[in-house]
Each structure stands twice: as C-alpha cells, then as structure tokens.
C-alpha cells in the first residue's frame, strides 16, 4: 500500500506516536533471546515500577497483546473457577471485566452506576458486607464515558475486607498520579498506545507481591498459558524462552516510557489538566458542555463533551476527518450525543488541539475557538 | 537507547524483516476503526486465504499476539472442558499444545515420537481406533528439532474418523505447499515473524467453515475473550469494535504478505529447498551432518545439523555473534549437540548464508565453505 497521510488523532486511544517511539520502531531486528533485548526489557521493568508507583517486590512486564489482554491476564491469573469476584461497572470496560470473569468460570457480582456517573463507594461497601470476595476490580477511568472512578478509595476499602484488588489503569497511569503500592492495588495494566503514546500491541502490567503469592497458591493451573504469570516470570526474570515477543514494540515502548519519565509524571499530570480545561472552555463558547456532571468525576485524560443542537455528530466528525482530524463519538447509549476527546500522552498537546480547533472552525463556520483555547491556557499557565 | 547494529538472523524465528514490511512499520498512526485500516485488514484476510490454501468459506484474520497465541486460540475456541483431543507431540511445540489443552480442561491423549523423528501414522491410527476425539492436532514442522511431520496424512486420517483438525503451520505456510481446504484442516496458525518475515506480534490464523460451526455449537462460551472467534468476526467481518489492534504490525504484515504472494508460493518453496540443500552440503564438508536421519522427515525451513566433535557449541556461536551472525542451538536434550538454521522467509537467501559461512570460516579458521555453498547452488539452479 502507499504510505497514508498524517492524521491528528484526538481519539481516546490510540494516541499520536511519541517521536522517540516512532524512531525506535525502525531499529534493526533482534531475536527475543538476544542480550540486547533483555537489557531493554530490564529497563522497561524498572521504569514500569515508577510508572505504576509499585515497590520493588512487584513484578512488571509487557504482555504481547493490547490492553484487553492485560485485563484478561489479570482475571486468568488471579481467579480460579467458582472464585467470587466483585466487578465495578459503569461503562463498556467495566462490563468487559465482568464478561471475562464469567467466561473464566468465576462467580461474578457487579456493582453498577449509571452511564456518566462514578461508582459509589457505599454500593461497593454494601456488596462487600454481604459476602466474601477474592478479588475486587474497577476501571480507574472509563474510556467509554470519560468518568473517573474512585479507584483509590475502592482499593483501600476492598483491602480492608481482605480482597485482592485489580485496577484498570489504561487511561490513567502515566498521565495522572498512580501509586499502586500505597493504594493497595495488586494488579494493574494499561495499553501501550494510551498514556504512553507508544504503538499498540503490548500491555504493560504489574503484579503486587500479594498477587504473585495468590497465583502461586492456585489449586488449578492458569487456563491462559500465553499470559501465565509463571511463564512471564521465566522470560522476564530468568531469561528463559516462553514465547516470541514483539521486539519492535518493546523498543518503542521503552523509548516512550523513558521519555515520559524524563518529562516527569507530575509534569504530565499538569499538562493534561491544563490542555483539557482549555479545550473544554473553548468548546463551551459554542455550546458544548461536559458530559459528566460532577467535576470531581471527570476523567482528565478523556474529555467527554455533549454536543449542542447545532452540531450533527457524524457529518461534523466526517468533515473533521477530511481535514485529517480524528474525533471519536459515543458508544451505546451515548452514540450521537457525545464526543470523546483524547488527552492521553501526545494528544494532550496545545499543537494537537490547535489543529482540532482550526478544523472545527472551518467545518462549523465559526471563529474564535483557537483564541479561546489559547486564552484559557495562558491564564492557567 | 542508541540504535543497535544490524544482525544477520539465521535463527528459526524471528527472521530478518522483509524490506517492504520494514518500511510499512513507519507509516503514520491510524486508529483501529479507521476505514484505511479496515481496507488493509480486508486485503490481509483475502491474501491469507491464498497463503493457507483455504477456500472462501474459511475465516482468516490476525490475532493481536504472537504464534503461541495462535496455538492457544485454536484450542480455546474448539475445545470445551472434558472434550477429547488427540495431540501429536515430538518436540517442544507439540508438548506445548498438550499443555494448553490440559489447562483448558480438555481430556488430552498424546501420540509421541522420539525427538528427531516424525510422528508415525500408524500410532495416530491406533489412538483413533481406541476412542472418539473431537479434535486432532499436529505441528507440521517442529521448530525445536527440524522434523517435518506427515500433517497431510494425519489430517486426512483424522477427517476419516470425523475429527476436527488443527495444524500448526508456523514453519511451513508461506514457504512450503499448504492447502488447508484440500487437506481437510480446520484451524491453522502461524507467527508473522516466521515464513513471512514480518515483525513479530501478530498471528495469522484461519478457521474452516466446519471449525466456525463447531465454535457456534459450543455449550459454553469461549474462555478466552481476547481471541474469541465471535469477537474476531465482529471486528474483521462486521467492522465493529472488539479491541485495539496493533496497526503498525497490520501494515507490516500486509506488506510482507503481499510481497510473498508476488514472489509466488511455489517459487518460495523452491528457494528454501535450494538454499537449504546448499547450506547442508557446505556444512557436511567440515563434518556437520543432518540431525534428522530420514530425508523425508527433514523440515525444509529449519535445518537442524549435528555438530562435529571439533565444533564447540557455545564458543563458536558466541564467535559468530561477534561477527553479527546469530545462530540458535538445540533445546532440551539436543542442547549443545545441534544448531538450528532458519530458512524461513528472508533467511532463505544466498546473501544471508554467505554472511554466515564467511563468519564461520573466520571463527573456525577454515576455508571453502562459501565456495562449496555456491557450487551446490549453481548445480541445482
């Protein structure tokens, strides 16, 4: 195929590729058992401890798959058939967690919240009072709706009931404060193409020492050989062959992760807040509004905005696409009603939002969006 | 990290990257739901039918993982707990099939052959006579030993007993004749980094219509959500969201597959035979010998050679590595005794073997290997 034109991705994943990661993609091929690859892997493991705020007793690695494999690997390792698991669900990814756990034969209880609202702590507490759970799982930031769940509070609560805790960090770790060990989280995962802006295809994961002990104490083998913790440890810790790894994606993730830590996780959290607030302020000038009502429940990395009456979802996004700007609509019941603007990694850049607002001005025939965005950024800066 | 130096990979996977695939890796980022990506996907699906020799009722796609995920996806989709499966095992990958099936709760029977020898048809027949199996699985070419199994005959036999048939095509499809539909094979998979010389990280797979029907007739859901056939069909056939796909690896696989079909599958089969025979002939001049005794049991794509007494495994391979040439040793009981030279995709090139023999001449202090190789090639050409 001929080389496609550049696009500006404002989607809630994948994000625009980080420049060092792009460059690393074209490094020469290496075998998965090459000492140079193991050196890259070791640096990735060390840097993932920092990304997740995990102490050195945690095990980190990359799974050879996308974020959904990260989700599934957690349940496959931590749950045995008939184990009781409590899933917090208020969007597509929470319900996906429940689906995966059911397929693994677990006994699944779901705590729900309406679309666009965060999981309520008292609902989790009520469920924990009713019966004992081996594992409690929650999506930190629901990509499908732009809702931030109180994962920290849920983790602490679940811990006080003696449960293991899985937190989906797909839209948060690397772009927001994340302190896995302090918060009592036992398993976290993300996708390479989200907050780190590496190419999709690897899933950075972290198991706490309690999670490792729980896997070691299983009565049955992990049903998923491909992401079995013991096999992952064999390759990543003992440098034994398990399966071929996507070396180019290791190079690229390593480069993106190194760049993220060089920028600083706190600086990145500030960046996403500033760009996101300015983007919302600019959109509000033409009638868009935040989809998530409560400001404290808004996920900083995915700005979900309700469309004003004068903006038709599909035609306007199609017009933006003609200008090379890609925006994602709603899912399920929010389809046609909201847009979800990515603010993860390289998408949380003023230059990206300038391209978006420039195209939006042209498609809608309005003016002043870039000016409003810049003004808000300057006030906050 | 700084850009690593080029290496000559003679490993039995990964192979040197095909130049079009290398170029495609640096195409600009696209979302997994982009129309351009779906166009690439559709071409890949069509071309995979050709690669596997599958008729149009088969379903082909790329899994977002390496070849081992392709192996596991087949068992996860085709087997339900307690189903009877017959696994042919004469090396690491056959035993891996048994391990995965057991983890899924299947009732596993293994037909074995010694390391370095092919599975015997009469052993398979004896097992099939004893009881009914839902599925029979065999590795076409055992990467771990360089043995070619009689997969075609086993598939036909299993079919005559009414079984579904899985064949691991990791070292064969794309470099040797492969006619899935004619041979009665229901599920095949490979890794992108083997015969196609694309980057590792995606697994091209094919399900026959009978395999699709078997999955649809399941009583229980597929335990592995990530590679569930229904979810894969949703994304690949109906263009619905399932999970993020590794877009760069799709680009690269598409380019490598297109190049392979442009060269022609028959031409590639001739190329691997010619280069492999010349390489063995040259190695025989200094005392190496074919590890697999029976010529008809030798896998053309992985040349397994027994080391002569004067060649020390680790020091010589280490010396080759200093010259940028990577050769793989044996696994398990063959460790220290054999080398496995890759002849898949871009590794089956005279230029690659020139680099190998040049380095080997220097490390061993011998002469004439390149001459012997070229002479044999010229005779056959």
Give the model's confidence band at B95: pLDDT under 50 very low, under 70 low, under 90 confident, else very high.
very high
Interface touch A245/B66, C-beta < 8 Å: yes
3-state class (DSSP) for residue A367: coil
pLDDT at position A32 is 95
Of the candidates B178, B345, B350, the residue with the CA atom closest to the CA atom of residue B255: B345
Give the CA-trace dihedral at B58, B63, B69, B74, to 10 degrees.
-20
Positive or negative, the Cα torsion across B343, B345, B350, B356? Answer: negative
Ordered structural domains, chain A, with CATH: 19-262 (3.40.640.10), 265-380 (3.90.1150.10)
3-state class (DSSP) for residue A343: coil
Mutate to test the interface with B, among A2, A99, A230, A243 (most CBs of B within 10 A): A243
Could you tell me which residues come within 8 angstroms of residue B46 by beta carbon, excluding any fewer than 6 positions away?
A: none
| Three-state SS sequence of A2-68 | CCCCCCEECCCCCCCCCHHHHHHCCCCCCCCCCHHHHHHHHHHHHHHHHHHCCCCCCEEEEECCCHH
Q: HSE-up of B43 (CA within 13 Å, CB side)? A: 17
Of the candidates A57, A253, A61, A281, the residue with the CA atom closest to the CA atom of residue B248: A253
Rg (CA), chain A: 21
CA distance A260 to A241: 29
Interface touch B30/A7, C-beta < 8 Å: yes
DSSP type of residue A366: -
Mutate to test the interface with A, among B41, B170, B191, B223 (most CBs of A within 10 A): B223
Contact status of B25 with chain A (Cβ, < 8 Å): yes
- State yes or no: pLDDT of A18 exceeds 80: yes
H or E segment to which residue B102 belongs: helix B92-103
Positive or negative, the Cα torsion across B244, B246, B247, B253? Answer: negative
**How many C-beta neighbours within 10 Å does residue B181 have?**
18
**How many C-beta neighbours within 10 Å does residue A50 have?**
15
Give the model's confidence band at B2: pLDDT under 50 very low, under 70 low, under 90 confident, else very high.
confident
3-state class (DSSP) for residue B269: helix
Chain A environment of B66 (Cβ under 8 Å): 64, 243-246
Contact status of A329 with chain B (Cβ, < 8 Å): no
Chain A environment of B102 (Cβ under 8 Å): 221
H or E segment to which residue A363 belongs: helix A350-364
How far from A179 is each of A55, A174, A264, A299, CA to CA, in Å? 9, 11, 14, 17
- State yes or no: pLDDT of B39 exceeds 60: yes
**How many C-beta neighbours within 10 Å does residue A240 have?**
11
- State yes or no: pLDDT of B381 exceeds 70: no
Percentage above 90 pLDDT, chain B: 96
Of the candidates B305, B74, B325, the residue with the CA atom closest to the CA atom of residue B204: B74
Contact status of B13 with chain A (Cβ, < 8 Å): yes
Give the model's confidence band at A4: pLDDT under 50 very low, under 70 low, under 90 confident, else very high.
confident
Of the candidates B106, B114, B55, B70, the residue with the CA atom closest to the CA atom of residue B89: B114
**A26 closest CB neighbour out of B26, B68, B254:** B26
pLDDT in tens, B156-208: 999 999 999 999 999 999 999 999 999 999 999 999 999 999 999 999 999 99
Contact status of B11 with chain A (Cβ, < 8 Å): yes
CA distance A334 to A329: 8
Chain B environment of A64 (Cβ under 8 Å): 65-66, 69, 201
* Residue found under tokens 């229904």: B230
Cross-strand partners of B111: B88
State in Å, rounded, how far the first CA of chain B is from the last one. Answer: 44
pLDDT at position B263 is 98
Give the model's confidence band at A1: pLDDT under 50 very low, under 70 low, under 90 confident, else very high.
confident
pLDDT at position B78 is 98
Percentage above 90 pLDDT, chain A: 96
Interface touch B64/A67, C-beta < 8 Å: no
What are phi and psi for residue B248, nearest 5 degrees? -60, -40
H or E segment to which residue B3 belongs: none
How far from B31 is each of A3, A15, A194, CA to CA, in Å? 15, 8, 12
Contact status of A93 with chain B (Cβ, < 8 Å): no
Interface touch A224/B34, C-beta < 8 Å: no
Mutate to test the interface with A, among B3, B30, B143, B200 (most CBs of A within 10 A): B200
Q: What mean pLDDT comes out for the span A338-353? A: 97
pLDDT at position B380 is 62
Chain A and chain B share a number of CB contacts under 8 A equal to 185
Q: HSE-up of B8 (CA within 13 Å, CB side)? A: 24
Q: What mean pLDDT comes out for the span B353-380? A: 95
Q: HSE-up of A283 (CA within 13 Å, CB side)? A: 24
3-state class (DSSP) for residue B234: helix
Distance from CA of B122 to the nearest CA of A (A): 31
Positive or negative, the Cα torsion across A15, A19, A21, A24? Answer: positive
Residue of A nearest to B222 (CA): A103
Evaluate whether A154 touches A121 at the Cβ level (below 8 Å).
yes
Q: What mean pLDDT comes out for the span B244-266? A: 98
Residue of B nearest to A223 (CA): B103
Strands A147-148 and A141-142: antiparallel
- State yes or no: pLDDT of A380 exceeds 90: no
Chain A environment of B326 (Cβ under 8 Å): 31, 34
Q: What is the pTM of this model?
A: 0.97
DSSP secondary structure letters along B163-182: -EEEEE-TTTBTTB---HHH
- State yes or no: pLDDT of B291 exceeds 70: yes
Contact status of B40 with chain A (Cβ, < 8 Å): yes
Could you tell me which residues come within 8 angstroms of residue B377 by beta carbon, excluding any fewer than 6 positions away?
A: B274, B275, B278, B350
Of the candidates B66, B73, B163, B54, the residue with the CA atom closest to the CA atom of residue B111: B163
Give the model's confidence band at A332: pLDDT under 50 very low, under 70 low, under 90 confident, else very high.
confident
pLDDT in tens, A209-258: 999 999 999 999 999 999 999 999 999 999 999 999 999 999 999 999 99
Q: For residues A134-150, b (16+ Cβ closer than 10 Å) or e, as one string?
A: bbbbbbbbbbbbbbbbb
Contact status of A219 with chain B (Cβ, < 8 Å): no
Q: HSE-up of A337 (CA within 13 Å, CB side)? A: 12
Evaluate whether A187 touches A164 at the Cβ level (below 8 Å).
yes
Residue of A nearest to B71 (CA): A226
pLDDT at position A381 is 57
Interface touch A31/B22, C-beta < 8 Å: no
Interface touch B26/A30, C-beta < 8 Å: no
pLDDT in tens, A30-70: 999 999 999 999 999 999 999 999 999 999 999 999 999 99
Contact status of B261 with chain A (Cβ, < 8 Å): no
Q: What mean pLDDT comes out for the span A119-124? A: 98
**Complex ipTM > 0.85:** yes
Evaluate whether A169 touches A204 at the Cβ level (below 8 Å).
no
Interface touch A99/B64, C-beta < 8 Å: no
């Amino acid at each position: 195929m001929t080389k496609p034109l550049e696009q500006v991705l404002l989607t809630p994943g994948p994000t625009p590729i980080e420049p060092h990661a792009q460059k690393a993609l074209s490094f020469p091929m290496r075998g998965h058992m090459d000492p140079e690859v193991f050196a890259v892997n070791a640096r990735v493991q060390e840097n993932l401890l920092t990304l997740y705020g995990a102490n050195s007793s945690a095990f980190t690695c990359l799974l050879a798959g996308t974020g959904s494999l990260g989700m599934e690997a957690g349940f496959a390792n931590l749950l045995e058939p008939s184990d009781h698991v409590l899933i917090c669900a208020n969007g597509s990814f929470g319900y996906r967690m429940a689906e995966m756990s059911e397929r693994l034969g677990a006994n699944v209880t779901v705590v729900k919240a309406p679309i666009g609202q965060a999981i309520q702590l008292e609902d989790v507490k009520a469920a924990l009072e009713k019966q004992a759970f081996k594992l409690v799982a929650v999506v930190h930031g629901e990509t499908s709706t732009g809702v931030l769940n109180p994962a920290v509070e849920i983790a602490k609560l679940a811990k006080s009931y003696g449960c293991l805790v899985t937190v989906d960090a797909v839209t948060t770790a690397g772009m927001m404060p994340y302190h896995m060990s302090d918060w009592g989280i036992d398993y976290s995962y993300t996708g390479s193409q989200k907050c780190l802006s590496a190419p999709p295809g690897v899933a950075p994961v972290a198991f706490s020492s309690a999670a490792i002990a729980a896997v070691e104490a299983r009565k049955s083998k992990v049903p998923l050989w491909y992401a079995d913790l013991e096999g992952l440890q064999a390759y990543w810790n003992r440098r034994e062959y398990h399966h071929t790894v996507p070396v180019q994606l290791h190079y690229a993730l390593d480069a993106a992760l190194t760049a993220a830590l060089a920028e600083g996780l706190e600086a990145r959290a500030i960046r996403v807040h500033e760009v996101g607030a300015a983007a919302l302020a600019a959109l509000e000038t033409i009638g868009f509004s935040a989809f998530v009502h409560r400001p404290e429940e808004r996920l900083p990395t995915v700005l979900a905005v309700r469309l004003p009456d004068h903006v038709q979802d599909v035609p306007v996004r199609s017009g933006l696409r003609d200008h090379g700007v890609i925006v994602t609509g709603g899912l399920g019941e929010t389809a046609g009603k909201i847009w979800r603007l990515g603010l993860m990694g390289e998408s949380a850049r003023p230059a990206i939002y300038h391209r978006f607002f420039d195209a939006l001005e042209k498609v809608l025939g309005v003016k002043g969006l870039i000016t409003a965005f810049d003004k808000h950024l300057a006030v906050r800066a």
